Copies of this chain bind each other. A is one copy, B any other.
Amino acid sequence: MRTGYASEEALSQRFEELVRRARSAVDRALLPADTPPRVIHEAMRYSALAGGKLLRPVLVMAAAECAGGPEAVNDGVECAAAAVELVHTYSLVHDDLPAMDDDDMRRGQPANHVVYGEAIAILAGDALLTRAFEVLATLPERGVEPERAVRVIRELAEAAGTLGLIGGQVDDLAATEGRVDLATLQSIHQRKTGALFRACVRIGGLLGGAGEDDLARLTDYASALGAAFQLVDDILDVVGDTAEMGKRAGSDQRRGKVTIPSLIGLEEARRMAEEETERAVASLSGFGPRADLLRWLVRRILARRR
């Protein structure tokens, strides 16, 4: 297949470039740490810039590139990419709270509430979520048509809401208590992980100029990618190494958390992850070389070790 990138190395370099740009965009989207009240701005930065993989903002940028070519990854796209990462970070900060999943480690560091206390961790999550929308409201200043900016805001709010991220977390909390079947677990994952992945590529696509057909194909890609990501995550929780994972391996099991590998076994889970990866790549068949980075990203997820 003809590709837009000369080699695997070129793809890997582009990926690293977008990761750097994503980190810088998140940094710019947050107020300086010494802004009063200092503790809340420090706490927001602690979690948002704490060595996350930045996969979601990179997906926003890669989808914009897929829709409009490398030049489409402009200031507006970077700003939207940062907003998505702020929403993701807020969800991690709140999920880790003692009243929720009660995790004391995240991304290889003590969780936000361990460092700053529960009250500030709740407020830091609230503030990251709020900041995401504040930052998106600057899109028209960055050359995005106001109508498109509103649509981006709506995509993110819907994905983060009770039919997406929050609804998934509600059902996930309940799932630790009773017996859960595969279909329920997949429904939880489609909302808790999948909804934000879908929003990433739809937002990137919208800002890159994609039409409705291309948005639908990008959405299929993201659903499959989200499923693969979650499967690999669950598999790594069983077989992974705590130091590499940044959180405790086996933590799902210890909490009595039902995971896909615990329902269908590791081998079957691995097979499903491969299947979803293929499905993701197949969804991009109409795009040609501009989708090379999106293809590369889903293969990288399948191969990830942390």
CB–CB B122/A161 < 8 A: no
Q: A40-B167, A127-B162 are in contact. Are A147 and B140 (CB under 8 A)?
A: yes
Partner of A133, one of B97, B122, B133: B133
CB–CB B126/A166 < 8 A: yes
Chain B residue contacts of A7, Cβ below 8 A: none
- Determine the residue in chain B with the shortest Cβ distance to A145: B146
Bound Cα distance A254, B159 (Å):
41
Copies in the complex: 2
Segment at the B interface, from A66-74, A169-177, A203-211, A229-237: A169-177
Instruction: Tell me the count of chain A residues lying within 8 A, CB to CB, of chain B.
Output: 53
When each residue 143-157 of chain A gets 1 if its CB lies under 8 Å from chain B and 0 otherwise, what string results? 001110111011001
Chain B residue contacts of A1, Cβ below 8 A: none
- Determine the residue in chain B with the shortest Cβ distance to A147: B146
Interface of chain A residues 12 through 42 with chain B (CB within 8 A): 31, 35-37, 39-41
**CB of A47 to closest CB in B, whole Å:** 14
CB–CB B129/A129 < 8 A: yes
CB–CB A126/B127 < 8 A: no
Q: A122-B99, A123-B166, A149-B150 are in contact. Are A161 and B130 (CB under 8 A)?
A: yes
Chain B residue contacts of A99, Cβ below 8 A: 117-119, 122
Bound Cα distance A117, B173 (Å):
12
CB–CB A137/B154 < 8 A: yes
Interface of chain A residues 31 through 57 with chain B (CB within 8 A): 31, 35-37, 39-41, 44
**CB of A150 to closest CB in B, whole Å:** 5
Bound Cα distance A153, B157 (Å):
12
